[in-house]
Each structure stands twice: as C-alpha cells, then as structure tokens.
C-alpha cells in the first residue's frame, strides 16, 4: 500500500468512525444541535479539546489556501468543507491525499 492510499484510507476512517459516534449521540439526544454545542462546553477538558480542534481546523484551512495559491491544485480545496463539515480527522488526510498526487 502506497502512502497515498494510506492518506485516503485515513480520510475514510476519519469520516466513518467519528461520524458513527456523532450520529448515535444526536439520535439519542433528538438531533439537538443546541445540545451538541452545550456538550462541547460540558467541562474544561471538553472545552479545551473543542478549541484545540477549532484552532487546528483554521490552521489547516490557511495552509490549504496558501498551498493551493502556489500549486494551483484546485481540487485540494475540497478538504476545507470536509474539515468543517466532518472534522480535521477527515480534512487533513484528505488534503494530504490531494497533495500527494503525481505531478
């Protein structure tokens, strides 16, 4: 398995595994987005992790934008919505998959 295939596998895992937990939590809590936001601030540990992921997502987005401006790899921009709609666990390996394509 090449490293490029590993990036794609990690992007798929980073989509399926966290989304499984998220959708099961949402199903139990009646799809309450306000409840989800409240859970992200349930205690200092969870709040710290939420901020850590938010800062990481913003940093990844800036990195993607900077590299796309230079490399003109427009398809890599798809990693930005993946990051904010799914999570960094999907967006980062997806971006690395786009970035590692043969030139």
pLDDT reported for residue 41: 93
pLDDT reported for residue 103: 72
pLDDT tens digits, residue range 15-66?
Answer: 999 999 999 999 999 999 999 999 999 999 999 999 999 999 999 999 999 9
pLDDT at 94 over 80: yes
Q: Give, as one character, the DSSP assignment of residue 76.
A: G
Is the separation of the CB atoms in 15 and 92 below 8 Å?
no
pLDDT tens digits, residue range 62-83?
Answer: 999 999 999 999 999 999 999 9
CA distances from 42 to 13, 45, 49, 88, 99 (A): 26, 8, 11, 21, 37
């Amino acid at each position: 398995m090449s490293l490029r295939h590993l990036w794609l596998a990690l992007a798929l895992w980073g989509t399926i595994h966290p989304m499984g937990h998220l959708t099961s939590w949402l199903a139990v809590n009646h799809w309450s987005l306000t409840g989800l936001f409240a859970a992200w601030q349930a205690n200092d540990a969870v709040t710290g992790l939420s901020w850590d992921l938010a800062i990481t997502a913003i940093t990844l987005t800036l990195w993607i934008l900077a590299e796309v401006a230079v490399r003109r790899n427009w398809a890599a921009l798809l990693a930005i919505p993946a990051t904010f709609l799914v999570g960094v666990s999907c967006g980062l390996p997806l971006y690395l998959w786009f970035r590692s394509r043969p030139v």
